[in-house]
Amino acid sequence: MKIIISEIEHVAHLARLSFDPSEIENFNRQLNDILGYISKLEELDTSRVEPTTHALELTNAFRRDEVKPSLPVEKTLSNAPEQEGGRFVVPKII
């Protein structure tokens, strides 16, 4: 399976990244090298194998819905690039 440059631009958009044309060339070569190597997995027949998403069998860790101490608003906002009146400020979207 080979990835082509128009696909890279699409994937970059999905990932909210942008690249200049010279970077795309380089990325294209490296990503194809990596994907070429990954295609090694096609050698294996996995039609009867269950997928593993976690190494240990996990069950949901439920807890009671109780109010507990948590970070105050000003601490939560302390690393925000822009904030005002106890809220995060973002560019206008509507």
Partner 1 sequence: MPSLINLSIHELHDILSKREVSAVEVTRAYLDRIGEVDPKIRAYLTVTADKALTQAEEADRRLKKADHVTPLTGIPVGIKDVICTRGVRTTCGSKILENFVPPYNATVMEKLEAHGAVMLGKLNMDEFAMGSSTENSAYHPTHNPWDLERIPGGSSGGSAASVAARACAGSLGSDTGGSIRQPASYCGVVGLKPTYGTVSRFGLVAFASSLDQIGPISRDVTDCALLLNAISGHDTRDSTSVLRDVPDYTGSLMPGLKNYTLGIPKEYFISGLDPEVEKSVKRAVSALESQGAEVVEVSLPHTEYAVATYYIIAPAEASSNLSRYDGVKYGLRAPDYKNLMDMYKKTRSLGFGPEVKRRIMIGTYSLSAGYYDAYYKKASQVRTLITQDFKKAFEQCDVIAAPVAPTTAFRLGEKADDPLQMYLSDIFTIPVNLAGIPGISVPCGLNSSGLPIGLQLMAGHFEETKLLTVAYNLELALCRCENWPLD
Interface residues toward partner 1, by CB under 8 A: 1, 3, 7-8, 11-12, 14-19, 27, 30-31, 33-35, 37-44, 46, 49-56, 58, 60-61, 63, 71, 75-76, 78-82, 88, 90-93
Q: What is the closest distance, in whole angstroms, from the C-beta atom of residue 24 to partner 1 in the complex?
A: 11
Query: b/e map of 17-31 (b: 16 or more CB within 10 Å)?
Result: eeeeeeebeebbeeb
Residues forming beta bridges with residue 84, ordered by sequence position: 87
CB of 60 to partner 1, least distance (A): 8
Distance of CA 57 to the CA centre of its chain: 24
